[in-house]
Structure 1
Amino acid sequence: MSPLTIGILAVSMSVDAFVASLGRGAAGHSRGVLAALKTGAIFGTVEMVTPLIGWGLGMAASTWVEAVDHWVAFALLGAVGLHMLLQALARKTSEASPATSLRATVLTAIGTSIDAMAVGVSLALLDANILVIALAIGLTTMVMSASGILAGRWLGQSFGRAMEALGGLALIGMGALILYEHLAG
C-alpha cells in the first residue's frame, strides 16, 4: 500500500472515533487537554490493536469474523449511544454531566473500532504491512479523538445536552449503518 492509501485508510478508520469524542466532550466527560489526550490515547490504542486482531483472525478464519463483526459493532455502539441519549434526556439543564468511567470509554473505543478489525481481516488477504498500517490508524485516531474531545467541550458549553443527545444518536446511527451495510450486501 502507498503512503497516501494508508493515510486515507487511517483517516477513514478514525472518523467514527472523532464523532464519538465530539459527543463525549460535549457531555463534559473529559475536562482539559490532559483528559482529552488520555481519551485520545485510549481510542488510538484500541483502534491500533483491532486491525492487528482482525489481521490475525483473518489469517485463521476470515469468514467467521466477517459473519459477526457488524452485529458486535451494532450492539456496542447502540448500547453506548442509547445510554448517552437517555442521560442527556434525563438530566436537567442545570445539572453537570456525570463523570464517565474508564470502562465506558473503552467500550466506546471498542465499538468504534470494530470496522478496523474487519479491515484487518481484509489486509490479511492483501498481504499488506499490518504493523505500519495499524500504527498509522492508531496515531490518527489518537489525534482525531483528542481533537474531538476538545471541540466537543467547546460546543458543549453552548449546547450541552443537545450535543450529548446528538452524540448518542450518532453512535446509534453508526452502529445501524454498519449493520445495514453488511446485511444489504
Structure 2
Amino acid sequence: MNPIALLLLTLAMSTDAFAAAISKGAGGALRMGLIFGSIEAATPLVGWLLGKSASTYVEAWDHWIAFALLVALGLHMLYEGLKPSAEEVSKPSRQSFLKVSLTAIGTSMDAMAVGIGLAFINVNI
C-alpha cells in the first residue's frame, strides 16, 4: 500500500476519536463556565443582602474589623511563606461539583465584597 494512502487512511480513522476528545473537553469547559458564571453573577447580590442585614451592627466597628482581618491575613501569609513545604504532584482528574463550586466561590469573593460595599453606601441594587 502507498505510504501516503496509509497515512490518509489512518488520519481518516482517527477523526472520530479526535472529535470525541474535543467534545469531551468542550463539555467540561461548558460545565466549568456555567458553574463559575452562575456563582460570579450571584455573589454581588448575596454580598448586598449580607451587607444590608449587617450594616447597622458593623458601622460602629468597621475600622476595627478591617484592621483585624488585614492583620490575620498578613500573619497567615507570613506563616505560609516561611513554613517548609512538601509539595505533592497529583495527576489531573475530573473535579466534583462541590470542588468546582468552592473554587468558584473563592474566586468570587471580590464580587461579594463589592455587593457588601454597595449595601453600606445605600445603593439600591
Q: How far apart are the structure 2 equivalents of 1:56 and 1:49? A: 11
Counterpart Cα distance in 1 of 2:122 and 2:26: 38
Of the three residues 58, 64, 70, the one matched with 2:51 is 58
**SS of structure 2 residue aligned to 1:90:** coil
Amino acid of the structure 2 residue aligned with 1:104: K
2:89 and 2:50 map into 1 onto residues whose CA distance is 41
* Alignment partners' CA distance in 2, 1:111 and 1:100: 15
Q: Which residue of 1 aligns with 2:36?
A: 43
Is 1:90 paired with 2:85? no
Unaligned runs of 5+ in 2: 1-23, 78-85
Over aligned residues, Cα RMSD in angstroms?
A: 3.1
Which structure's residues are more often helix, by fraction?
1
1:107 aligned residue: 102
- Aligned pairs for 1:166-185 (under 5 A) are none
Residue pairs, 1:105-144, within 5 angstroms = 105-128=100-123, 130=125
CA distance in 2, matches of 1:129, 1:42: 27
Structure 1: any 5+ residue segments left out of the alignment?
Answer: 1-30, 79-84, 131-185
**How far does residue 127 in structure 1 lie from its aligned partner after superposition?**
4.6
Structure 1 CA distance, aligned partners of 2:94 and 2:27?
15
Q: How many Å separate the matches in 2 of 1:111 and 1:122? A: 18
Q: Identity of counterpart residues, as a percentage?
A: 43
Q: Which residue of 2 aligns with 1:9?
A: none
Count of aligned pairs between the two proteins: 81
Q: Structure 2: how far apart are the matches of 1:116 and 1:33?
A: 27
